[in-house]
A = this chain, B = another copy of it.
Amino acid sequence: MDRDALKAAAAIAAVGEVDSGMVVGLGTGSTAGHAVREIAKLLGAGRLTDIVGVPTSQATADLADEVGVPLIIPGEATIDLAIDGADEIGPELALIKGGGGALLREKVIAASARRFAVISDDSKMVAALGSSFDLPLEVVQFGLTITIDALAKFGEPHLRLDDSEAPYVTDNGNYIIDLAVLPITDPAATNAALHNVPGVLATGLFVGIADVAYIAGAGGVRRIEAGSPA
Protein backbone atom coordinates (compact mmCIF):
# COMPACT_ATOMS: atom_id res chain seq x y z
CA MET A 1 0.00 0.00 0.00
CA ASP A 2 1.56 3.28 -1.00
CA ARG A 3 1.72 6.34 1.22
CA ASP A 4 -1.10 8.13 -0.58
CA ALA A 5 -3.43 5.14 -0.28
CA LEU A 6 -2.76 5.13 3.49
CA LYS A 7 -3.58 8.84 3.69
CA ALA A 8 -6.84 8.19 1.84
CA ALA A 9 -7.70 5.30 4.17
CA ALA A 10 -7.21 7.50 7.25
CA ALA A 11 -9.30 10.29 5.70
CA ILE A 12 -12.15 7.94 4.75
CA ALA A 13 -12.21 6.51 8.27
CA ALA A 14 -12.46 9.99 9.81
CA VAL A 15 -15.22 11.04 7.42
CA GLY A 16 -17.18 8.15 8.95
CA GLU A 17 -17.75 10.55 11.87
CA VAL A 18 -19.51 13.09 9.63
CA ASP A 19 -23.30 13.09 9.93
CA SER A 20 -25.79 14.88 7.70
CA GLY A 21 -26.39 18.49 8.78
CA MET A 22 -22.90 19.00 10.20
CA VAL A 23 -20.59 21.98 9.83
CA VAL A 24 -17.18 20.49 8.98
CA GLY A 25 -13.77 22.18 9.26
CA LEU A 26 -11.68 21.30 6.20
CA GLY A 27 -7.92 21.11 6.67
CA THR A 28 -5.15 21.80 4.20
CA GLY A 29 -2.72 19.41 2.53
CA SER A 30 -2.73 16.08 0.73
CA THR A 31 -4.29 14.01 3.52
CA ALA A 32 -6.99 16.58 4.30
CA GLY A 33 -7.69 16.77 0.56
CA HIS A 34 -8.72 13.11 0.62
CA ALA A 35 -11.28 13.96 3.32
CA VAL A 36 -12.73 16.78 1.20
CA ARG A 37 -13.05 14.43 -1.77
CA GLU A 38 -14.66 11.70 0.35
CA ILE A 39 -17.25 14.16 1.73
CA ALA A 40 -18.00 15.31 -1.82
CA LYS A 41 -18.41 11.70 -2.93
CA LEU A 42 -20.87 10.91 -0.10
CA LEU A 43 -22.80 14.12 -0.86
CA GLY A 44 -22.96 13.16 -4.52
CA ALA A 45 -24.23 9.67 -3.64
CA GLY A 46 -26.90 11.11 -1.35
CA ARG A 47 -25.44 9.31 1.67
CA LEU A 48 -24.74 12.69 3.31
CA THR A 49 -26.95 15.78 3.00
CA ASP A 50 -26.90 19.35 4.27
CA ILE A 51 -23.14 19.51 4.91
CA VAL A 52 -21.25 22.82 4.88
CA GLY A 53 -17.49 23.11 5.06
CA VAL A 54 -15.23 25.76 6.61
CA PRO A 55 -11.94 25.89 4.67
CA THR A 56 -8.58 26.58 6.33
CA SER A 57 -6.88 27.93 3.22
CA GLN A 58 -7.56 29.28 -0.22
CA ALA A 59 -6.22 26.02 -1.67
CA THR A 60 -8.80 24.02 0.28
CA ALA A 61 -11.58 26.44 -0.67
CA ASP A 62 -10.63 25.93 -4.33
CA LEU A 63 -10.64 22.14 -3.95
CA ALA A 64 -14.04 22.20 -2.18
CA ASP A 65 -15.48 24.33 -4.98
CA GLU A 66 -14.08 21.97 -7.57
CA VAL A 67 -15.41 18.72 -6.05
CA GLY A 68 -18.65 20.18 -4.74
CA VAL A 69 -18.58 20.78 -0.98
CA PRO A 70 -20.60 23.93 -0.12
CA LEU A 71 -18.67 26.40 2.04
CA ILE A 72 -19.52 28.96 4.68
CA ILE A 73 -17.39 31.75 6.11
CA PRO A 74 -15.42 30.85 9.27
CA GLY A 75 -17.37 31.94 12.32
CA GLU A 76 -20.76 31.83 10.58
CA ALA A 77 -21.64 28.67 12.53
CA THR A 78 -20.02 26.52 15.18
CA ILE A 79 -17.93 23.75 13.64
CA ASP A 80 -19.11 20.30 14.66
CA LEU A 81 -16.07 18.39 13.44
CA ALA A 82 -12.76 19.53 11.97
CA ILE A 83 -10.65 17.04 10.00
CA ASP A 84 -7.02 17.78 9.17
CA GLY A 85 -3.66 16.15 8.66
CA ALA A 86 -0.50 16.67 10.73
CA ASP A 87 3.24 16.64 10.14
CA GLU A 88 3.97 14.82 13.39
CA ILE A 89 1.74 13.17 15.97
CA GLY A 90 3.25 12.76 19.42
CA PRO A 91 2.12 11.49 22.82
CA GLU A 92 -1.35 12.59 23.97
CA LEU A 93 -2.15 13.56 20.37
CA ALA A 94 -0.01 16.70 20.55
CA LEU A 95 0.81 17.69 16.97
CA ILE A 96 3.21 19.58 14.79
CA LYS A 97 1.40 21.20 11.87
CA GLY A 98 2.28 23.87 9.37
CA GLY A 99 4.19 22.08 6.64
CA GLY A 100 1.61 23.46 4.22
CA GLY A 101 1.88 26.96 5.68
CA ALA A 102 -1.72 27.20 6.93
CA LEU A 103 -0.99 26.57 10.64
CA LEU A 104 -2.66 29.70 11.98
CA ARG A 105 -5.95 29.21 10.16
CA GLU A 106 -5.87 25.48 10.85
CA LYS A 107 -5.41 26.15 14.57
CA VAL A 108 -8.25 28.71 14.69
CA ILE A 109 -10.57 26.15 13.06
CA ALA A 110 -9.39 23.07 14.95
CA ALA A 111 -9.44 24.73 18.36
CA SER A 112 -12.94 26.12 17.85
CA ALA A 113 -14.45 22.86 16.61
CA ARG A 114 -16.54 20.73 18.95
CA ARG A 115 -14.33 17.82 17.90
CA PHE A 116 -11.07 17.66 15.97
CA ALA A 117 -9.99 14.51 14.15
CA VAL A 118 -6.39 14.31 12.96
CA ILE A 119 -5.67 11.95 10.07
CA SER A 120 -2.37 10.51 8.96
CA ASP A 121 -0.40 7.57 7.75
CA ASP A 122 1.67 5.88 10.44
CA SER A 123 4.97 7.46 9.32
CA LYS A 124 3.98 10.65 11.21
CA MET A 125 3.79 9.02 14.64
CA VAL A 126 6.76 10.02 16.82
CA ALA A 127 7.82 9.42 20.42
CA ALA A 128 8.59 13.15 20.79
CA LEU A 129 7.54 16.07 18.60
CA GLY A 130 10.33 17.73 16.66
CA SER A 131 12.14 14.42 16.12
CA SER A 132 11.89 14.42 12.35
CA PHE A 133 10.08 17.62 11.37
CA ASP A 134 11.07 21.26 11.90
CA LEU A 135 8.54 23.27 13.90
CA PRO A 136 6.79 25.89 11.71
CA LEU A 137 6.12 29.30 13.25
CA GLU A 138 4.10 32.11 11.71
CA VAL A 139 5.98 35.36 12.36
CA VAL A 140 5.36 39.04 11.66
CA GLN A 141 7.30 40.52 8.73
CA PHE A 142 8.27 43.57 10.82
CA GLY A 143 11.64 43.15 12.52
CA LEU A 144 12.23 39.69 11.05
CA THR A 145 15.91 39.51 12.00
CA ILE A 146 15.01 40.46 15.59
CA THR A 147 12.61 37.51 15.75
CA ILE A 148 15.14 35.17 14.14
CA ASP A 149 17.76 36.23 16.70
CA ALA A 150 15.32 35.62 19.56
CA LEU A 151 14.49 32.15 18.21
CA ALA A 152 18.12 31.04 18.02
CA LYS A 153 17.99 29.97 21.68
CA PHE A 154 15.26 27.44 20.79
CA GLY A 155 17.00 25.88 17.81
CA GLU A 156 18.03 26.68 14.25
CA PRO A 157 15.58 29.08 12.61
CA HIS A 158 15.17 28.89 8.82
CA LEU A 159 13.04 31.41 6.93
CA ARG A 160 10.76 29.49 4.56
CA LEU A 161 11.16 30.48 0.92
CA ASP A 162 8.76 30.04 -1.97
CA ASP A 163 9.52 28.58 -5.38
CA SER A 164 11.09 31.83 -6.55
CA GLU A 165 13.39 31.95 -3.47
CA ALA A 166 11.48 34.92 -2.03
CA PRO A 167 10.14 34.62 1.54
CA TYR A 168 7.00 32.51 1.63
CA VAL A 169 4.01 34.67 2.62
CA THR A 170 1.01 33.11 4.41
CA ASP A 171 -2.64 33.76 3.60
CA ASN A 172 -2.49 36.25 6.52
CA GLY A 173 0.44 38.20 5.09
CA ASN A 174 3.11 36.84 7.44
CA TYR A 175 6.32 34.82 7.12
CA ILE A 176 7.03 31.24 8.21
CA ILE A 177 10.12 30.19 10.14
CA ASP A 178 10.89 26.49 10.24
CA LEU A 179 12.65 25.90 13.54
CA ALA A 180 14.93 22.87 13.78
CA VAL A 181 14.59 21.81 17.42
CA LEU A 182 15.70 19.01 19.68
CA PRO A 183 12.89 16.56 20.48
CA ILE A 184 10.27 18.45 22.51
CA THR A 185 9.62 16.88 25.90
CA ASP A 186 6.95 19.32 27.11
CA PRO A 187 5.00 20.73 24.12
CA ALA A 188 2.78 23.02 26.25
CA ALA A 189 5.81 24.63 27.92
CA THR A 190 7.67 25.02 24.62
CA ASN A 191 4.57 26.54 23.06
CA ALA A 192 4.24 29.08 25.90
CA ALA A 193 7.93 29.99 25.72
CA LEU A 194 7.74 30.54 21.96
CA HIS A 195 4.69 32.78 22.41
CA ASN A 196 6.83 34.97 24.67
CA VAL A 197 8.86 35.93 21.58
CA PRO A 198 6.89 39.00 20.45
CA GLY A 199 7.28 38.39 16.70
CA VAL A 200 5.84 34.85 16.93
CA LEU A 201 2.16 35.06 15.95
CA ALA A 202 1.32 31.37 15.94
CA THR A 203 3.15 28.10 16.46
CA GLY A 204 2.71 24.76 14.71
CA LEU A 205 2.38 23.06 18.12
CA PHE A 206 -1.20 21.87 18.62
CA VAL A 207 -1.44 20.83 22.27
CA GLY A 208 -4.69 19.55 23.76
CA ILE A 209 -6.61 20.28 20.56
CA ALA A 210 -6.97 16.89 18.82
CA ASP A 211 -9.75 14.68 20.18
CA VAL A 212 -9.14 11.64 18.03
CA ALA A 213 -6.59 10.36 15.52
CA TYR A 214 -7.09 8.01 12.59
CA ILE A 215 -3.71 6.49 11.71
CA ALA A 216 -3.43 4.28 8.66
CA GLY A 217 -0.76 1.57 8.41
CA ALA A 218 -0.20 -1.72 6.69
CA GLY A 219 -2.51 -3.40 9.22
CA GLY A 220 -5.43 -1.02 8.69
CA VAL A 221 -6.64 2.20 10.30
CA ARG A 222 -6.05 2.62 14.01
CA ARG A 223 -8.31 4.98 16.00
CA ILE A 224 -6.82 6.69 19.04
CA GLU A 225 -8.98 8.82 21.33
CA ALA A 226 -7.21 11.59 23.25
CA GLY A 227 -6.70 10.56 26.86
CA SER A 228 -6.59 6.85 26.04
CA PRO A 229 -3.31 4.97 26.55
CA ALA A 230 -1.06 5.06 23.45
Contacts and interface: CB of A to CB of B under 8 A. Distances in A.
Given A112-B150, A173-B172, A192-B192, A143 B75 contact: yes
Interface stretch (A34-42, A86-94, A102-110): A102-110
A163 B143 CA distance: 28
Contacts of A147: 108
B104 A198 contact: yes
Contact of A173 (B108, B150, B173): B173
A146 interface: yes
A75 B108 contact: no
Nearest to A74: B143
Q: Copies per complex?
A: 2
Given A172-B173, A173-B173, A202 B192 contact: no
Interface string A59-103: 000000000000000111000000000000000000000000000
Interface string A128-159: 00000000000011111111011000000000
A57 to B, nearest CB: 10
A181 interface: no
Interface string A102-125: 001101110110000000000000
Contact of A192 (B108, B111, B146, B195): B195
Given A108-B199, A195-B192, A198-B108, A74 B140 contact: no
Contacts of A202: 198, 201
Contacts of A149: 75, 112
A225 interface: no
Contact of A146 (B74, B104, B140, B197): B74
A143 B192 contact: no
Most chain B Cβ neighbours within 10 Å, of A104, A145, A199, A202: A199
Given A192-B192, A198-B202, A75 B140 contact: no
B108 A142 contact: yes
Given A147-B108, A202-B201, A172 B75 contact: no
